[in-house]
Amino acid sequence: MKIAVFGKKFNKSFYDSCIRLFEVLRSNDVELFIYKPFYEFLLTEVNMKPDVVGFFDGSSGLPAVDQVFSIGGDGTFLEAVSFVRDSGVPIVGINSGRLGFLADVSQNEMECTIQDVLNGKYKVHQLDLLTLQTDNQLFKDNPYALNELSIVKRDSSSMITIHTYINDEFVNSYWADGLIIATSTGSTAYSLSVGGPIIHPDADNFVITPIAPHNLTVRPMVVPNNVEITLKVEGRDTKFLAALDSRSQVFEDSVHLKIKKADFSINVIKLPDYSFFTTLRNKLMWGLDRRN
- State the Cα–Cα distance between residues 215 and 218, nearest whole angstrom: 6
Low-confidence stretches of the chain (pLDDT < 70) are 59, 99
User: What local confidence, expressed as pLDDT, does residue 59 receive?
Assistant: 62
User: What local confidence, expressed as pLDDT, does residue 99 receive?
Assistant: 66
CATH architecture of 129-263: Sandwich (2.60)
Is there a catalytic annotation at residue 74? yes
Class for domain 2-122+271-284, per CATH? alpha beta
**Mean predicted lDDT score pLDDT of the chain:** 93
User: What local confidence, expressed as pLDDT, does residue 191 receive?
Assistant: 97
User: What local confidence, expressed as pLDDT, does residue 26 receive?
Assistant: 92
- State the Cα–Cα distance between residues 205 and 222, nearest whole angstrom: 7
How far is CA 124 from its chain centroid?
Answer: 17
- Find all residues with CB under 8 Å of 197, minimum gap 6, and list them: 187, 207, 220, 222
Q: What angle do CA 191, 259, 144 make, to 5 degrees?
A: 80
- State the Cα–Cα distance between residues 108 and 187, nearest whole angstrom: 27
Marked catalytic residue, from 51, 74, 86, 128: 74
User: What local confidence, expressed as pLDDT, does residue 288 receive?
Assistant: 76
Q: What is the residue extent of each domain of the chain? A: 2-122+271-284, 129-263
Spatial contact of 260 and 131, defined as CB atoms under 8 Å apart: yes
State whether residue 284 is helix, strand or coil. Answer: helix
